[in-house]
Homo-oligomer: A and B are copies of this chain.
Amino acid sequence: MTLACPAPHHEDGVVLLGHGAGGRLTAELLDTLVLPALEGPGGPLEDAAPLPGHPDLVISTDSFVVSPLFFPGGDIGSLAVHGTVNDLAMRGARPVALSVALIVEEGLPLARLRAVAESLGKAARDARVPVVTGDTKVVGRGAVDKIFINTTGVGQRRPGLRPSAAHARPGDAVLLSGPLGLHGITVLSSREGLGFDSDIRSDSRPLHHLVAALAPLGEHVHTLRDPTRGGLAAALNEIARDARVAIGIDESDIPVPGTVAAACDLLGLDPLTVANEGCLVAFVAPTAAEDALAALRSLPEGRDAARIGEVLPHGPAGRVVLRTLVGARRVVDMPLGELLPRIC
């Protein structure tokens, strides 16, 4: 796929939707523009960063711009809690505190604002994380689309658990905690009024209990990542890049619900690139794979957990390969840019 668009290092270029989609354009924008300007820490970009001077604490931030605000299985309020709780969980941390910053468009019905705030509050209580501070800005009509939410979380890392995208190793089993594509297809269906199926729902949920279930396996848990923007394809490509390994996955083992598969067929989407908000991939030492799978399956949110592949013993660093149902092999590329903007 080629796009006739200026690279972000061209000063006459403009920001494209794909620059925020979690794929190759995002990586290029971050690598060539944002990160050099901020002089951030080197090394792999993780979902959450250690707090300087407090290595047991991690911090993560995320803005939520999903459209529509409400969709089957969730809304921007609950999503804003789950997204940040999950980013902390992917570093092996339980959430300690959340901040919430609202940017609201003038004219938004107060009843809608209240519904969003109440959903956010309920999701935080359900995840047992307090909202300790916040900010509310109102901007004029047209300056923001209804409401955007930033949540930033601080988490306490579980002892012995130090997952990192850089820690995946040859031989690791690749586990997926649940079915793919439900969040992205649900939001798309709600937004466009496609109505694929009345029973499709976002998988938006907190994942820190799954991580707690994996905690007894300690250092055998090498890598955790929740495949949100850019889907499983982006998550695996990031891990392959940061750990300098090749990853093989089996199409026959990847759980894709029938509704998601049908919608993707119709729309020309690859389920591997569709966003999720309620599943994680875990890279674990081969000797711990069965225990890890059992731990994931011990919780309702992990009952469909599956082993979907492994880190290859050889193969080019950064490569992700899919073994298809018909026995062929195809390279799973990092998505260029999201085909579904404003999914989270």
Cβ of A61 and Cβ of B150 under 8 Å apart? yes
Cβ of B20 and Cβ of A104 under 8 Å apart? yes
Residues of B within 8 A of A39 (CB): 121, 125, 131
Which of B29, B104, B111, B342 interacts with A19 by CB under 8 Å?
B104
Cβ of B130 and Cβ of A60 under 8 Å apart? no
Looking at the assembled complex, report how far the CB atom of A342 sits from the nearest CB atom of chain B, in whole angstroms: 6
Asked if A21 is at the interface (CB within 8 A of a chain B CB), the reply is yes
Looking at the assembled complex, report how far the CB atom of A104 sits from the nearest CB atom of chain B, in whole angstroms: 5
Residues of B within 8 A of A342 (CB): 139-140, 143
Cβ of A145 and Cβ of B145 under 8 Å apart? no
Which of B63, B121, B137, B341 interacts with A20 by CB under 8 Å?
B137
The quantity of this chain's copies bound in the complex is 2
State A263–B232 Cα separation when bound (angstroms).
56
Cβ of A137 and Cβ of B63 under 8 Å apart? yes
Map CB proximity to B onto A228-249 as digits: 1 under 8 Å, 0 otherwise: 0000000000000000000000
Binds B, one of A44-52, A178-186, A217-225, A271-279: A44-52
Cβ of A62 and Cβ of B101 under 8 Å apart? yes
Looking at the assembled complex, report how far the CB atom of A88 sits from the nearest CB atom of chain B, in whole angstroms: 11
Cβ of A96 and Cβ of B53 under 8 Å apart? yes
Looking at the assembled complex, report how far the CB atom of A329 sits from the nearest CB atom of chain B, in whole angstroms: 33
Please report whether the interface of chain A is mostly helix, strand, loop or mixed according to DSSP.
mixed
Looking at the assembled complex, report how far the CB atom of A250 sits from the nearest CB atom of chain B, in whole angstroms: 32
Cβ of A134 and Cβ of B11 under 8 Å apart? no
Asked if A194 is at the interface (CB within 8 A of a chain B CB), the reply is no
Asked if A4 is at the interface (CB within 8 A of a chain B CB), the reply is no
Cβ of A135 and Cβ of B96 under 8 Å apart? no
Map CB proximity to B onto A86-112 as digits: 1 under 8 Å, 0 otherwise: 000000000011011111111111110
Which of A15, A41, A102 is the most central at the interface, judged by chain B CB atoms within 10 Å of its CB? A15
Cβ of B48 and Cβ of A138 under 8 Å apart? no
Number of interface residues of A (CB under 8 A): 84
Asked if A299 is at the interface (CB within 8 A of a chain B CB), the reply is no
Looking at the assembled complex, report how far the CB atom of A83 sits from the nearest CB atom of chain B, in whole angstroms: 10
Which residue on chain B has the smallest CB distance to residue A141? B17
Residues of B within 8 A of A6 (CB): 110
Asked if A16 is at the interface (CB within 8 A of a chain B CB), the reply is yes
Within 48-91 of A, Cβ neighbours of B (below 8 Å) are at 48-54, 57, 59-63, 65, 67
Asked if A262 is at the interface (CB within 8 A of a chain B CB), the reply is no
- Give A contacts to B, CB under 8 Å: 6, 8, 10-21, 26, 29-30, 33-34, 37-41, 48-54, 57, 59-63, 65, 67, 96-97, 99-111, 113-114, 117-118, 120-121, 124-125, 130-140, 142-145, 148, 150, 152, 154, 156, 341-342
15 sampled A-B residue pairs with Cβ under 8 A: A14-B109, A15-B106, A15-B109, A19-B104, A21-B138, A37-B114, A37-B120, A37-B121, A38-B117, A40-B131, A51-B132, A53-B156, A61-B135, A65-B139, A65-B143
